[in-house]
Amino acid sequence: MHVPSQQERTLIGALCLMTCFWFATGCGRSAADRSLESDARGYFCPGCKTKFYTEYSVIADVCPQCKSYDIQEVIGFVCSADSHVTLGARGSGAPPCEKCGKPSSTASVPRESQLKAWNAARKSKAEVSR
């Protein structure tokens, strides 16, 4: 029968520890997964400056105010310094943090509570469809 050396026992222990760590981190949802979850979709109309949102299953086609098809989806920009989320139109570049002024580094999908705080109004499918 082979008796493992100290070096072999250390290697086996390290492998066991890494395996446990791998299982532990694989079971939870990552921050990236959580940042992509939402219960609403936010929109901004550059023509009339209307801020609105729908339930997540509804994709808006038109602005409910001016009926323009030129609407932009809203995303959140997360500040790396204080984790504050600043909302803005997709494709317009990351705005500075509203709270501290530092650059935002991560994008996220805003939740209904964040869209309400941004003064966006909830709209139905009938209001935002062709």
The answer to whether the CB of 74 falls within 8 A of the CB of 40 is no
For residue 11, is it within any domain?
no
User: Which are the contacts of 77, defined by CB distance < 8 A and separation ≥ 6?
Assistant: 85, 86, 87, 88, 94, 95, 97, 104, 106, 107, 108
Q: Does residue 18 form part of some domain?
A: no
In a domain? residue 113: yes
- Residue 19 located in a structural domain: no
- pTM of this structure: 0.69
Number of domains in the chain: 1
Instruction: Compare 17 and 71 and report the one with higher pLDDT.
Output: 71
| Structure confidence by residue, pLDDT tens digits, 48-105 | 999 999 999 999 999 999 999 999 999 999 998 898 999 998 887 888 898 999 888 7
- Residue 6: inside a domain: no
What is the domain range of residue 49? 32-128
Q: Is residue 22 part of a domain?
A: no
